[in-house]
Amino acid sequence: MSDHTFIQTKALLQATLVGAVIGLTLFGLSIAQQAQADPATVKLYKTHCQSCHMPNGNARAKPLNFTDSEWKHGSSHREIAACIRDGVKGTAMRPFKDKLKPAEIDALADYVKAFEKPADAKN
């Protein structure tokens, strides 16, 4: 193999490897998103939450926004679930414990947390 061909082959191999890594990363991300978007949970969100929190969780008012990585009432799963279960007294955020099952509240907590942009995620 001449030097020239060798360099070309090496460049081609490197390009293929980079392509494979990017492809796998995108594939992994799409799987992760699909895992979060359980149709039953999406439906619950549409029915009970979207009117105030917007379809993508990007409501303009800060405490309602799920994408700005600011969680007024805490960013842990437990804190977010508690917020949904018990509501926030004195605000439009009503408790959902009488309307939703604990498992549904758990799933919604994961769902709204996932609106947070991955680049801004703190954990």
Residues at the interface with ligand HEC (CB under 6 A): 48-49, 51-53, 63-64, 71-73, 80, 83-84, 88, 91-93, 96, 108, 112
- Identity of the residue, 42 or 64, whose beta carbon is nearer to ligand HEC in the bound complex: 64
- Identity of the residue, 42 or 88, whose beta carbon is nearer to ligand HEC in the bound complex: 88
**Shortest distance (Å) from residue 81 CB to ligand HEC:** 8
Structure tokens at 5: 């061909």
Structure tokens at 100: 């939703």
**Shortest distance (Å) from residue 115 CB to ligand HEC:** 10
**Shortest distance (Å) from residue 108 CB to ligand HEC:** 4
- Identity of the residue, 2 or 87, whose beta carbon is nearer to ligand HEC in the bound complex: 87
DSSP 8-state assignment for residue 101: -
Q: CA–CA separation, 93 vs 102, rounded Å?
A: 17
**Shortest distance (Å) from residue 52 CB to ligand HEC:** 3
* Long-range contact set of residues 64-69: C-beta below 8 Å, sequence gap at least 24: 66/112, 66/113, 66/115, 66/116, 67/115, 67/116, 67/117, 68/120, 69/116, 69/117, 69/120, 69/121, 69/122
- Identity of the residue, 10 or 72, whose beta carbon is nearer to ligand HEC in the bound complex: 72
